[in-house]
Amino acid sequence: MENNDIIVGLDIGTTKICTIVGRKNEFGKIDILGYGKSESLGVTRGVVTNIVNTIASIRSSIEEASTKSDVDISAVYVGIAGQHIKSLQHRGMRTRNTLDDEISQKDIDAIVEDMYRLAMPPGEEIIHVIPQEFIVDNEQGIKNPIGMSGIRLEANCHIITGQVTAAKNIYKCVMRANLSTQGLFLEPLASSDAVLTEDEKEAGVVLVDIGGGTTDIAIFQDGVIRHTAVIPFGGNVITDDIKEGCTIIRSHAELLKIKFGSALASENLENEIVSIPGLRGREPKEISVRNLASIIQARMEEIIENVYYEIRNSGYEKKLIAGIVITGGGAQLRHTVQLVEYITGMDTRIGYPNEHLAKGSDELKSPMYATGVGLVIKGFQDLEKKMKEDNTVIQAGKGKERKEKLQQKSFFEKILDMLKEDDQDTELK
């Protein structure tokens, strides 16, 4: 099968590693050609902690997706998350030479490239620079300045940073699984593309992606991302709480959470009992569903309180008309929407990645696949952007401009250079 118009998203999560192979149809929807899922054995709270196990899990997921889709997978778009992800606001400025020329994409790109040169604390690198709004000759609140006249162009930018070592380990795992990385995207940004509508982003909305190891937050308002944060709690902590509270093994705790779990204890009957098989001939263990829900509710309240703190901290609490959208595996827990609405007082819904998928992709229409689907969407956006840039360069015939662009290396190009240097050092030794 031709691979030119096919995008592969690789979601390296704490509980699962998921590979999704997609292609756009004539209606602009994504046809899922195949997907693969394997247990994530080397990732803790979004960060790779065991290289060998992670490579094995990636290979297993890739092989399954390749077999189902009949596509030879060699390049992927990868997501990055984890507690090390931070964000900050910064204003960039560019003084133009003349009023005669209109402001172009080249001017905006120059400001963004300058942002990548900001001095970061040791061990941190800039992953994304997202312009929020522009100021042209002190005229504020401009969303798109292209075509305007002006000398002084300023941009308020949202800058997302991450630890170099965390990204390096992700790339190392992908490379050793015999894959090349086409791009690296922040996972909550990928999830937002999969489950949020443009109207919600315009009105003001909070995306809460409850994963296995972390809970990712992205706040949008006026169609622009305003705040990102990562909370180091997720579904795995709830499973651990059930294991300790009910004194059962972890696999039974996970099954209890999925099949009988609820985020509101008051919604469960007191006399409803679940029986867990005993170990090696021991007596079965009986657990009250209400007690189970009480354990889950206590931890969910802590996660939601942390989310609400980030919402208040962002300064946009009163401007979020569309409320909260919950996605990720943790969104499948019963009564989560009611608990979030009770604690925050904001309208809440569960985000499904249905809108962008073509018919026949029912297996992936679950919140747990939102990041994987989002990475495929991000991949198509990146592909279109590269094609536009290449066409502009060909039409203009500006070899020098192309050369300058190549000199400003992206975050993942820097990481790849580091890995090549590491490999050379190993060979020399």
DSSP string covering 214-275: -EEEEEEETTEEEEEEEES--HHHHHHHHHHHHT--HHHHHHHHHHH-BS-GGGS-TT-EEE
The tens digit of pLDDT for each residue in 29-76 reads 889 999 999 999 889 888 899 999 999 999 999 999 999 999 999 999
Contacts of 107 (CB under 8 A, 6+ apart): 94, 96, 145, 153
Contacts of 83 (CB under 8 A, 6+ apart): 45, 46, 47, 214, 230, 232
Q: 412 is written with which tokens?
A: 């993942």
Decide if 90 contacts 23 (C-beta within 8 A). Answer: no
The tens digit of pLDDT for each residue in 262-288 reads 999 998 888 889 888 877 778 888 899
- Checking if the pLDDT of 125 tops 80, the result is yes
Contacts of 188 (CB under 8 A, 6+ apart): 81, 207, 209, 216, 217, 218, 228, 230
Nearest-angstrom CA–CA distance, 303 and 283: 35
Q: Which pLDDT band, with edges at 50, 70 and 90, does 134 fall under?
A: very high
Q: Where are the beta strands (DSSP E) in 96-138?
A: 124-136
The better pLDDT of the pair 226, 362 is held by 226
DSSP one-letter code for 78: E
pLDDT number for residue 399: 47
The arithmetic mean of pLDDT across residues 164-180, rounded, is: 91
Q: Which domains does the chain have, with CATH numbers?
A: 235-299 (3.30.420.40)
The tens digit of pLDDT for each residue in 391-416 reads 665 555 544 444 444 445 666 666 66
Q: Model pTM?
A: 0.86
pLDDT number for residue 402: 45
The tens digit of pLDDT for each residue in 19-29 reads 999 998 888 88
Contacts of 191 (CB under 8 A, 6+ apart): 207, 209, 216, 218, 327, 328, 351, 370, 371, 374
Q: 155 is written with which tokens?
A: 């941009």
Alpha helices (runs of H) in 84-163, residue ranges in sequence order: 105-115
What is the full DSSP assignment across 13-36? -SSEEEEEEEEE-TTSPEEEEEEE
Q: How many CA atoms lie within 13 A of 79 on its CB side?
A: 34
Decide if 81 contacts 192 (C-beta within 8 A). Answer: no
Tabulate helix, strand, coil % of the chain (nearest 5): 45, 30, 30
Nearest-angstrom CA–CA distance, 49 and 54: 8
Contacts of 384 (CB under 8 A, 6+ apart): none
Give the mean pLDDT of the chain. 88
